[in-house]
Structures are given as structure tokens and as C-alpha cells.
Structure 1
């Protein structure tokens, strides 16, 4: 007997084949992002995850504990990546004025340049691939992905958006 599970919601029943197609589509997008960001990271002698850490710190996840929680990795992983980013001049550690025992991370100008280069690569590819996709369709896709991910609101602040706006 073949096992079939179903997820039922307002659009009807999704079977295992739908889930596999969804996972394939998400993996394809992740692979595209990786193909565009990895050269930027390699150019700076860091990992793709380390480049992602720059983006996260810029967005406000400025303490190692927040990065560990968000990335769901071991503390030693974040510590190693942060040390490499500091050594490369892409991040700096700054003591918190409120509690001198707390170290905060800050993106340097060099780190911002790496982030901007990565965003330019992603933007160019995104523009080319999204021809014919309306802004409403894009926003619906984002909302759907958030709903499927269990995060109806962004889990990381978007410093490129003003608080309270979605457009």
C-alpha cells in the first residue's frame, strides 16, 4: 500500500508530490542565490554563511547569541565565522555601552561594500528572472513563503524598509 499524506487548507488537498515540488522549487531558488553570492564571498576569502552573517548583523542581529539562535548552529560555528569576518575587516566588535560585558557586532564599510556587491548580483539576476511577475504576485509569494515557514512576519528586520511598510 502506498503511503499518501495530505495537507488540507483553503486551496484543497496537497499530496506528497506537491510537497516534493515545493521543496524542489525552494531548493532551486536557494541554489540560484548561492550561485550568485558564493563568488562575492570567495572574493573576500569568506564562506557564504559568513556573507549571510554580514547581512544579518546589518539587519540588527548584532550579538553572537542572536546569530546562533537564528542560524541554528553551534556557538563555535558563529564564533569562528565572526572571528574570520573581524580579521578580514568586514565586522568589528564593539562593547555595549549599557553592559561592558556584552559584545555587539558592527558591519564595517568594507563589510557594507561586500553586502552591497552581493545585493547587486542578486538584484540583477532577480530582475532578469522576474520579468512578467507583478509586484502583487511577488508580495503574494513572499506572504505564502512566510505562511509556509510559520513566520507570518519577517524574522529578521529589513533595514531597507521603513518600519510598518511592506511595499
Structure 2
């Protein structure tokens, strides 16, 4: 047996899926209370993060999340009503609606990130920063996306603008 993924057995793939599911569940357990306090879904919380990262048009969100346009429209309506997002018209094309995260939306994001950071600081203290970076690199390799599919606005120098 070699050290390549091609040599993985079904049990290895099931273990991988289990680990990914555990991480996904951990993230949901930490962020869902933040979303619920504001009366929105976990997906809607994710939309706020995506808009902040630069996916600021409904069509970009539809493509990225692979959902129906009506789903995004409904989520955006709820986020606007909750004061977490606002709609603006593009200064260059009045037919294009852009989305912006409000101060209230930024505060919600910061609370979610704070909860995740507290978890990592307390529960994952045995994981080094190098191990975390190696995990990120491995997940990107497995996804076939060597670079993040969404810009990270918290990284200095990384573009947050998407092609429009």
C-alpha cells in the first residue's frame, strides 16, 4: 500500500467523511446560536460571510451555493429585514443590485468568529498553527481548489473584489 489517496480503502474514505462531518457539526454548534438569536438560518449567516468576502450579487450567491434564485431571494429578504444586509444599486449599472453587510451584520460575523476562535483556543490547543495550515492545504488539495473559492477579507493584500 502506498501513501497516495489512490490507495485509500473504502474505510479510509468513510473515516474522512466522518471527520469532515464532525468538523461541520462543530462549526454549526458554535455558529447556529448566533444565527438563531437574530432569527436567521445557518445558511443566511453564511450568506453574510460570503457578501462580506465579495460575493455581493444575488447571482454570485446562487452560483456559489448551488441553490435556486428564489432561495437566495428569500434569504436576502430576511437578512435585509433583520438589518444585517442592505441592497444598493450599482453606480455603473442601475439594473444591478449589490449587497452590503451592515454594521449589525459585521457585529454578528465578529461574534461567530469569536466563538470559533474561543473553541480553537480552548479545545484545539494541541494543534499547532503548522498543523492547521497543513490541514487547510490538504483540504484544498482534496477539493481540487488550490486557492480559496471565496476571498478572505481578513488576509492583508488578498483581493476582496469578485469579477462583476
Does the C-alpha gap of structure 1 residues 93 and 12 become closer, same or farther in structure 2, counting only changes over 3 Å? closer
Write the mapping of 1:13-92 to structure 2, written as runs, cut at 5 A.
13-92=7-86
1:163 aligns with 2:146: no
| Alpha-carbon distance between aligned partners in 1 of 2:110 and 2:148, rounded to the nearest angstrom | 21
Count of paired positions: 158
Partner of 1:119: 113
Q: Secondary structure at the match of 2:7?
A: strand
1:150 aligns with 2:156: no
- Partner deviation per Cα, 1:58-95 (whole Å, 9 max, x = no partner): 00000001111111111111100000000111000000
Unpaired segments ≥5 residues, structure 2: 159-164
**What RMSD over aligned residues (CA atoms) do the two structures have, in Å?**
1.6
- Off by >3 Å, runs of 4+ in structure 1: 8-12
Does the C-alpha gap of structure 1 residues 62 and 24 become closer, same or farther in structure 2, counting only changes over 3 Å? same
1:128 aligns with 2:122: yes
Moved more, 15-24 or 117-126: 117-126
Q: CA deviation at 1:126?
A: 1.6
Higher Rg = 1
Q: CA deviation at 1:11?
A: 6.1
So what's the TM-score if we normalise by structure 2? 0.92
Q: CA deviation at 1:129?
A: 2.4
| Alpha-carbon distance between aligned partners in 1 of 2:121 and 2:62, rounded to the nearest angstrom | 32
| Alpha-carbon distance between aligned partners in 2 of 1:115 and 1:35, rounded to the nearest angstrom | 15
